[in-house]
Amino acid sequence: MIILFWVCLGTLWYVYAGYPLLVWLLAQRFGQPIQRRASTPTVSLLLPVYNEEAHIEEKLRNSLALRYPKGRLDIVVANDGSTDRTAALVKPFCARGVRLITYPHVGKSAMISRTVPRLRGEIVVFSDATIEVEPDALRRLVRNFADPRVGCVSGSYGLRRAGDLRAQGEGIYWRYESFLKLQESRLHSTLGAHGPCYAIRKELFQRIGKMEINDDYLIPMRILEQGYRVVYDPDVITWERELVSVEGEFARRRRIAVGNCQQTIALRRLLSPRFGLVALCFFSHKVLRTAAPLVLLMLLGSSFWLPARLAAVMLILQGLLYTSAFLGYLCQRWGRVVRWLSPPFYFCFGNLAMLTGLLRYCFSPRRYTWERAR
């Protein structure tokens, strides 16, 4: 058990600190610059929506204001059988060139698989209804495709609203994730894309199964499997206008965990040594990160078997972490902001959601369809 403790502690250190340092060092030594050049290929901006009446009009106004040649931009709303006024609110924009495609409620993955082949652009850009895209974002996205090795480009992501404890924690998390994505991109390829705004070469798109979730990870990774690079461009700026409830965010992260399990199996060949540094990044960033909640539990359990003094220290430290997270949860509920509680709260919040997702994947055979977090 003592050996298990040290293995768990070393694994957690590597996942959250050692790997970021390693990938930064590798990127400095073996980085592969991207050849960027201004161009205006035909672009289809795809907006998959389900019950987005609160956001769709503002999103379409934002999309129509993008600085991109109008004759080369095709804006398409794919409506997944919305039961609210989403479709009715889109129709007035059709006179301005927006296309509306409506399906019965089939789920986001199935809807995307049906829609992408019907798009006109050489480049397909995916974006969410709650996302505000900066005016020059499309031009900055497509300049990366001047490099023939690039098959997918991910933009950056930030929060417009950052007034509560969880928003601060999420801001820290996204800065951490953005650092990792940038280093992985410099090394070869980032793993997946930010769902709020990413672009692919349409010719490289592969259909995703209707029961597969986390399309913003599967689509880029299957492009990576084809031998193309997936790059991260921090100059492509997007903003999330809506901060979902604690329950909604928990459900979203739980769904992501289920998707992580699916993807580890579906993309397991990327763990082959022949994928080199990509295999290292996939194992470190995706496989070990998904297993981190289980490692945390084993660390806690094995701490009781340590020598008395060391056991006391480690149990106190873990107790402080989880107590701080619980206090952070209470502050979140009471509407109070205590800044130092933000990191432990968001860390434990994310790992608890990941743990429930792992358990759900293992023990529940239910089909997962698109459920927007609110």
- Please determine, for residue 372, whether its predicted confidence score (pLDDT) is greater than 60: no
CA atoms of 167 and 177, how far apart (whole Å): 15
Least confident of 61-75, 76-90, 222-236, 239-253: 239-253
- Give residue 174's pLDDT: 77
What phi, psi does 204 have (nearest 5°)?
-95, -5
Q: Which amino acid is at 160?
A: R
- Report how far residue 368's alpha carbon sits from residue 354's, in angstroms, rounded to the nearest whole number: 16
pLDDT at 373 over 80: no
Q: What is the Cα–Cα distance from 297 to 299, expressed in whole angstroms?
A: 5
Return the CATH number at 367.
3.90.550.10
Domain hosting 42: range is: 1-374
| Of residues 218, 194, 217, 195, the one with CA closest to residue 206 | 218
Count up the domains in the chain and report the number. Answer: 1
Q: How far apart are CA 37 and CA 135, in angstroms?
A: 18
pLDDT at 168: 58
Q: Could you report the per-residue pLDDT of 46-82, keeping only the tens digit for each?
A: 999 999 999 999 999 999 999 999 889 999 999 999 9
Which comes out higher in pLDDT, residue 210 or 230?
A: 230
Rg (CA), the chain: 21
- pTM (two decimals): 0.87
Q: What is the pLDDT of residue 243?
A: 61
pLDDT tens digits, residue range 163-206? 554 555 566 777 888 899 999 999 999 988 988 899 999 999 99
Report pLDDT digits (tens) over 260-294.
888 888 888 889 888 889 999 999 998 999 999 99
User: What pLDDT is recorded for position 201?
Assistant: 97
Sheet strands side by side (includes 131-133): 131-133, 238-240, 158-159
| 3-state per-residue secondary structure call for the chain | CHHHHHHHHHHHHHHHHHHHHHHHHHHHHHCCCCCCCCCCCCEEEEEEECCCCCCHHHHHHHHHCCCCCHHHEEEEEEEECCCCCHHHHHHHHHHHCCEEEEECCCCHHHHHHHHHHHCCCCEEEEECCCEEECCCHHHHHHHHHHCCCEEEEECCCEECCCCCHHHHHHHHHHHHHHHHHHHHHHHCCCCCCCCCEEEEEHHHCCCCCCCCCCHHHHHHHHHHHCCCEEEECCCCCEEECCCCCHHHHHHHHHHHHHHHHHHHHHCHHHHCHHHCHHHHHHHHHHHHHHHHHHHHHHHHHHHCCCCHHHHHHHHHHHHHHHHHHHHHHHHHHHCCCCHHHHHHHHHHHHHHHHHHHHHHHHHCCCCCCCCCCC
